[in-house]
């Protein structure tokens, strides 16, 4: 990675982008389905907000985790990928500046859109989304270290991000459709957040970082992650069957959840502590289940919105 461009691409971790991009797209679809229209400027600003949020989260997460990342590289030099700050790919200051700039920009975009698109409360909602990650990373709370980071990720990614992007497009509060969709999304995002801590179990303990994995251990967290995935599937099924506004096509979310979730369950017994390759396979199938199901819901909502326009 000799060029500055290559180093920044590595630091921004494109493979992790769906973790935020997919919920952001679902929020756009929620706004579109609710209003039966999709203002191009609102959609474009929602996409811009999501991109800035990605940069904000990815860079500051590395900045906040630099000490435990350094420990992990020392403990498992051949068992994990290179870390941005400990391996000298980019300096800590560069990530801090990039993250704070992106976070400020995303809030400013929302504040401008609040007036330009007549979206009351959008700026405050964006500040809340940013504030959750500040509480996750920065003192005095730093809940990613003190405990509860997975719950904050569930709220930030599974609730607030899609609420913000929905508001860019639809400009309303939590709609009936949103009330049907977001509980399931929050649960599957919690499943993802739990699984993310598996590969850092021993380095997090060595660095005095409190996570569900350091509290409960590898096996219980794998079980809890799969249980949250199943609960999310149940929430979406109930929403599809009981909500008059929720498209029945949303049941298509159960197809990727079933296919990839089953594979994750089969791989789970081998994803034990320090089995990094097996943990990676487990998390890949889990993420395919989550992202596939969320994209299926996104498509269903777009179809509903398009039918309403017609």
- 230 to 166, 235, 240, 261, 297: CA distances (angstroms): 25, 9, 15, 8, 16
Based on its alpha-carbon atoms, the radius of gyration of the chain, rounded to whole angstroms, reads: 19
Model pLDDT, residue 140: 86
What digits encode the pLDDT tens for the residues 237-296? 888 887 766 656 677 888 999 999 999 999 999 999 999 999 999 999 999 999 999 999
pLDDT band at residue 310, thresholds of 50, 70 and 90?
very low
Residue showing tokens 């698109």: 117
Cα dihedral: 157, 159, 164, 168 (round 10): 110
User: What is the sign, positive or negative, of the torsion defined by CA atoms of 273, 21, 309, 183?
Assistant: positive
What digits encode the pLDDT tens for the residues 116-146? 999 999 999 999 999 999 999 888 888 888 8
What digits encode the pLDDT tens for the residues 84-107? 999 999 999 999 999 999 999 999
What digits encode the pLDDT tens for the residues 25-38? 999 999 888 776 66
What digits encode the pLDDT tens for the residues 246-256? 656 677 888 99
Q: Tell me which H or E stretch contains 149.
A: helix 149-155
Helix and strand counts by DSSP (H, E) for the chain = 15, 0
Residues 71, 207: contact at Cβ < 8 Å? yes
Q: How far apart are CA 11 and CA 3, in angstroms?
A: 13
Model pLDDT, residue 1: 55
What digits encode the pLDDT tens for the residues 58-76? 999 999 999 999 999 999 9
CB burial class (10 A; 0-12, 13-18, 19+) of residue 159?
Answer: buried
Model pLDDT, residue 253: 87
pLDDT band at residue 173, thresholds of 50, 70 and 90?
low
pTM for the whole structure: 0.94
Examine the pLDDT at 305 and tell me if it is beyond 80: no
Instruction: Tell me the percentage of the chain whose pLDDT exceeds 70.
Output: 93
């Amino acid at each position: 990675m000799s060029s500055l461009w290559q180093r920044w691409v590595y630091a921004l971790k494109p493979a992790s982008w769906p973790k935020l991009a997919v919920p952001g797209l679902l929020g756009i679809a929620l706004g579109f389905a609710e209003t039966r229209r999709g203002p191009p400027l609102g959609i474009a600003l929602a996409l811009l907000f999501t991109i800035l949020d990605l940069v904000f989260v990815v860079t500051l997460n590395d900045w906040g985790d630099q000490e435990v990342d350094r420990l992990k590289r020392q403990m498992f030099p051949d068992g994990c990928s290179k870390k941005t700050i400990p391996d000298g790919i980019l300096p800590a200051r560069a990530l801090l500046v990039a993250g704070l700039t992106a976070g400020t920009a995303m809030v400013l975009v929302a504040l401008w859109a609040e007036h330009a698109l007549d979206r009351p409360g959008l700026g405050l909602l964006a500040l809340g989304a940013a504030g959750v990650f500040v509480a996750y990373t920065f003192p005095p709370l730093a809940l990613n270290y003190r405990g509860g980071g997975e719950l904050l990720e569930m709220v930030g990614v599974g609730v607030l991000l899609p609420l913000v992007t929905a508001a860019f497009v639809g400009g309303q509060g939590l709609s009936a459709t949103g009330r049907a969709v977001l509980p399931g999304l929050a649960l599957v995002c919690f499943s993802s957040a739990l699984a993310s801590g598996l590969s850092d179990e021993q380095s997090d303990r060595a660095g005095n970082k409190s996570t569900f994995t350091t509290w409960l251990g590898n096996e219980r967290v794998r079980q809890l992650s799969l249980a949250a995935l199943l609960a999310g599937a149940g929430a979406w099924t109930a929403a599809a069957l009981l909500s008059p506004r929720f498209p029945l096509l949303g049941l298509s979310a159960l197809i990727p959840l079933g296919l990839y979730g089953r594979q994750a369950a089969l791989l789970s017994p081998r994803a034990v502590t320090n089995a990094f390759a097996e943990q990676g396979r487990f998390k890949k199938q889990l993420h395919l289940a989550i992202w596939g199901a969320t994209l299926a819901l996104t498509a269903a909502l777009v179809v509903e919105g398009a039918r309403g326009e017609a």
